[in-house]
Amino acid sequence: MQRNSMAPAWAGALVGWVSGGVALGTALLVAGFVRPEAFPVLAVADATIDLSPAPVVEFAKETFGFYDKPVLVGGVLVVLAGVAAAIGVLALRRLAYGFAGLAVFGVVGVLAVVTRPDSAGGLDALPTVVGVAAGAWALSWLVRRAAGERGHQAADVTDHGATDEEPRTGAEPAFDRRRLLTGVAGGAVVAGASALLGWQVGDRRTVSAARVRLALPTPATPAKPIPAGADFRISGLSPFITKNQDFYRIDTALIVPQVDPNDWTLRIHGMVDRPIEITYADLLKMPLTEADVTLTCVSNEVGGDLVGNARWLGVRMAEVLRQAGLQANADMLLSTSADGFTCGTPVDVVMDGRDALFAVAMNGEALPVAHGFPVRQVVPGLYGYVSATKWVVDLKVTRFDRDQAYWTPRGWSATGPVKTQSRIDVPTSGASLKAGRTTIAGVAWAQHTGIDAVEVRVDGGEWRQARLAEVPGPDTWRQWSLDWDATPGRHTIQVRATDAAGHTQTEQQAPPAPDGATGWHTLTVLVA
Ligand SMILES: Nc1nc2c(c(=O)[nH]1)N[C@H]1C(S)=C(S)[C@@H](COP(=O)(O)O)O[C@H]1N2
Ligand SMILES: [Mo]
């Protein structure tokens, strides 16, 4: 029974880690061929997000920002490492305990994978099942090596009910350190190689290749030319157009959904006269509109950088919806992405003539995969969480009193009009400046209303009117700047904007939840 009583705990941990590594590496390899999203670690992490209460998700978003997902995956791996070590220690006592531990692992993994909203069904369980089988094989192999040759034979007969006094061994089975370590090294190589191969196969199956091949049609309605005075080109000031690689990214997807444009369809159903399903080719045959629109995240803190401005190309949502025929009492468009995320967008906003788009391109290239390729929504004037569904595949015409979108039960407002905001880009908070003439500059936004005025004050003094850059329309942010004679000492700079509806930003501070932060961006600089 206690055939490895001589094996130390570190040997158990090593056996567990390498067996776990073989399991994960194999799972990644199989997932590479089946479906990269069916890798159980990602599914478990994704499920953790969905099962966590809103304050926890918010805390993670705030603490780790863009890195919240990598941190979460790291956390899952740390937990897995702990469990794997325990499984290894148990397996050295008795292999069946180790197998039982692995089985629990497998069940959790399979459950997480097949219950993901974008799951492809039973086939998605394959990576986990094959991974666990490979892990079990590695576990028993390593346990036997740890027990040495004699232990190995003893183990075999023990399994058939014999005792340690088996005459062939004649002695207590030994702990074979050398054979264990060579086995561990071999197992680690197998784990690493299969993980690497799986990663690469999965990567090649992504849609980036299809994306590069796409030829974009020319717009029937081109964007208004960007006025020459739209960009002050001040160093440190956000450029009028945000480059795709600099554009903020927010989504709940741990692995970016890979949607092939050849397989993509958009189904429009619910409160419509004629449910329709359109393909990517259908969409591109419709007249395309180009528009410069600033996108903002509701989670953006005052002064934060979850805002960007891009030139979008797409089909007006209103045009597509008219094909389906909206019913009169519908007030919500519940859009769903390929990975199950949902947005609830007010019907009247989308139908009022603004450039609400099913966008296919961003700044002159097909949508980057992380920004929703092949098709996403862009609606000027609404925060992204209620309007900007990336990888959109389904649109249900419904009512706010019948359906709820992803963030609503998680503590965010069902509707999310953008709040008028302004931000100081230069100087930066805490900067040291030379006394004398300097420039204060930033951006302000009030999408679909437009910015009419920006005022700046220093040390709580008089509000001074900033110079406003030109804009092509009310849907983009607007640069502003002001010259300032900086005197030595510490100074506090504040900004506030007034939109074209005559509303001036309130000083009242509010956090992002539930419907967007308020307050004046305020920073302090040191002038010497
Ligand atoms: N599929 C999907 N679309 C989504 C989200 C998401 O989590 N999943 N997040 C929304 C939010 S909260 C914002 S602010 C914008 C951000 O778009 P971006 O990542 O292209 O900047 O996407 C929206 N669309
Ligand atoms: Mo957002």
**Residues counted in the chain:** 528
Pocket test for ligand 1, best of 385, 386, 406 (most atoms within 8 A of CB): 385
- Other beta carbons within 10 angstroms of residue 234's beta carbon come to 17
- Choosing from 62, 69, 248, 251 the residue with most ligand 1 atoms within 8 A of its CB, the one to mutate for a pocket test is 251
Q: Give the residue, by CA position, lying nearest to ligand 1 atom 20.
A: 371
Atom of ligand 1 nearest to the CA of 250: 19
pLDDT of residue 104: 92
Atom of ligand 1 nearest to the CA of 252: 7
Asked whether 128 and 40 are in contact (CB, 8 A), the reply is yes
Residue numbers of the chain with a pLDDT score lower than 70 = 1-6, 61-69, 118, 148-173, 203-206, 209
Instruction: Determine the pLDDT at residue 190.
Output: 93
- How far is Cα 255 from Cα 511, in angstroms, rounded to an integer? 29
Tokens encoding 183 = 């086995």
Instruction: For residue 401, count other CB atoms closer than 10 A to its CB.
Output: 9
Q: Is the CB–ligand 1 distance for residue 384 below 6 Å?
A: yes
| Start-end of CATH 2.60.40.650 domains in the chain | 421-527
* pLDDT tens sequence across 452-505: 999 999 999 999 999 999 999 999 999 999 999 999 999 999 999 999 999 999
Paired tokens of 306: 């979850």
Residues 6 or more apart in contact with residue 67 via CB below 8 angstroms: none
CA of 407 to the centre of ligand 1 (A): 11
- Check if 169 has its Cβ closer than 6 Å to any atom of ligand 1: no
Extract the tokens encoding 437.
């003439």
Sheet (strand 521-527) strand order: 432-433, 521-527, 489-499, 451-458, 464-465
Q: Whose CA is nearest to atom 8 of ligand 1?
A: 251
**Using CA atoms, how far apart are residues 374 and 157, in angstroms rounded to an integer?**
60
Dihedral angle of Cα 524, 525, 527, 528, to the nearest 10 degrees: 110
pLDDT of residue 166: 41
List the beta bridge partners of residue 440: 482
Q: What is the pLDDT of residue 173?
A: 58
Question: Which residue from 231, 273, 195 is spatially nearest to 25, judged by alpha carbons?
Answer: 195
- 3-class secondary structure, 211: helix
Topology of domain 244-410 in CATH is Sulfite Oxidase; Chain A, domain 2 (3.90.420)
Token pair for residue 454?
């920006």
CA of 360 to the centre of ligand 1 (A): 15
Q: Are 139 and 95 in contact (CB under 8 A)?
A: yes
Those residues whose C-beta lies under 8 Å from the C-beta of residue 388, and which sit 6 or more positions away, are 295, 343, 376, 377, 378, 379, 382
Torsion angle of the four alpha carbons 225, 230, 232, 234, in this order, in degrees rounded to the nearest 10: -90
Residue whose token pair is 């953008």: 418
State if pTM tops 0.85.
no
Give the helix ranges, DSSP H, for 273-316: 280-285
Which residue puts its alpha carbon closest to atom 10 of ligand 1?
385
Q: Is the CB of 312 under 6 A from ligand 1?
A: no
Ligand 2 centre to CA of 297 (Å) is: 3
pLDDT value at position 212? 73
CATH for 421-527 is 2.60.40.650
**Residue 488: is the preceding peptide bond cis (ω within 30°)?**
no
Give the type of residue at 420: T
Question: Is any atom of ligand 1 closer than 6 Å to the C-beta of 385?
Answer: yes
Q: Closest residue (by CA) to atom 19 of ligand 1? A: 249
